[in-house]
Amino acid sequence: MTDEEASKQERINQYINNNLKTILADLAEDEMPDEITDLLMVLRAQDEQMKDKK
């Protein structure tokens, strides 16, 4: 691969990586669904109950 081709490939890779980072960042900003927050509450409550029993 020539220097020019390597540079072009690097730009393509960077373009792909940056677009993917944007997509992931957008997805990560989605509000957490109620099912997950409810599940976390249940799991924490169960942990507390277990601690109390001990």
Partner 1 sequence: MSVMDPRDELVTHLPAVRAFALSLTRNRTVADDMMQDTVLKAWTNMDKFTPGTNMRAWLFTILRNNFYSSRRKLNREVADVDNTYSDRLAVKPDHDGRLQMSDFKVAFDQLKDEHREALILVGASGFSYDDAAEMCGVAPGTMKSRVNRARAKLTEMLHLDEDDVLELTDVETLSVVGSPNIPS
Minimal distance, residue 45 CB to partner 1, in Å: 12
Positions in 15-44 near partner 1 (CB under 8 A): 15-25, 27-30, 32-33, 35-36, 39-40, 43-44
Q: Does 50 bind partner 1 (CB under 8 A)?
A: no
Question: 53 near 45, Cβ under 8 Å?
Answer: no
CA dihedral 36, 37, 42, 45 (to 10 degrees): 150
User: For binding to partner 1 (CB under 8 A), which residues are involved?
Assistant: 8, 11-25, 27-30, 32-33, 35-36, 39-40, 43-44, 47
